Amino acid sequence: MTGDVSVKVCETFVSIQGESTHAGLPCFFVRLSGCNLRCSYCDTAYAYHEGRETAIGEILSGARDAGVGMVEVTGGEPLLQAGTPVLIKTLCDAGFKVLVETNGSMRIDSIDRRAVAIVDIKTPGSGMEGEMFYGNLDMLRPHDEIKFVITDRADYLWARDLIRRFRLAGRRMLFSPSAGLLDPGELAGWMIEDRLPVRLNLQLHKYVFGDRRGV
């Protein structure tokens, strides 16, 4: 039962999915409050503290009212909250395609196996690479995804070497140029030169709607 379970929610909204292999699809976003990291390029710092306690049943009703089949649970860092695994399970039980974006510092084995974990491995340019829990790479399911935000050439080489060191070829991997710091064409050129088996991951929602909240 979910009646007594709640999570602190920063915001909910309907938009297109801007990232991951599901980019371009309509999605209901549940942004949870709180984060244990302070990445240099963070674009959702408002989620550090904003939000209100919300019953999981209320979130489920909002997802149903949204009228789309995909839900992303994001943050902040959603796995900081004890109620998040219950929220994810509830959404999966209701038949939604559930994506969970997590910052790579928290164990992902609490995530329902039906959901897609999108694990954001922090590069040196984020200032948070020392906070990563690399044990998550052994917990990935075939449908999970790994994301790297790349700020410069040094980040690219670091991520490329990590992929080789952990033998991640064959996984669903995303390289995202940090907005305003790295030109997407430059990153794409490096990927092509190295024949790297990763997907260029642009923040599609920002290209369509601009860099603002609620999209």
- pLDDT of the chain, 215 residues: tens digit per residue: 566 899 999 999 999 999 999 999 999 999 999 999 999 999 999 999 999 999 999 999 999 999 999 999 999 999 999 999 999 999 999 999 999 999 999 999 999 999 999 999 999 999 999 999 999 999 999 999 999 999 999 999 999 999 999 999 999 999 999 999 999 999 999 999 999 999 999 988 887 777 777 77
First to last CA, the chain: 31
pLDDT in tens, 101-137: 999 999 999 999 999 999 999 999 999 999 999 999 9
Task: Specify the pLDDT at position 203.
Answer: 86
Half-sphere exposure of 110 (CA within 13 A, CB side): 14
Task: Specify the pLDDT at position 208.
Answer: 78
CATH of region 6-209: 3.20.20.70
For residue 155, what are its two tokens?
């980040």
Strand partners, 175: 148, 200
Question: Pairing state of beta strands 52-55 and 6-16?
Answer: antiparallel
Neighbours of 190 (CB within 10 A): 16
Question: Pairing state of beta strands 172-177 and 52-55?
Answer: unpaired
Question: Pairing state of beta strands 97-102 and 70-74?
Answer: parallel
Calculate the alpha carbon distances from 176 to 19, 145, 184, 198 in Å.
9, 13, 8, 10
3-state secondary structure of 8: strand
Please tell me the pTM assigned to this model.
Answer: 0.94
Quick one: 40 exposed, middle or buried, by C-beta within 10 A (0-12, 13-18, 19+)?
A: middle
Task: Specify the pLDDT at position 2.
Answer: 65
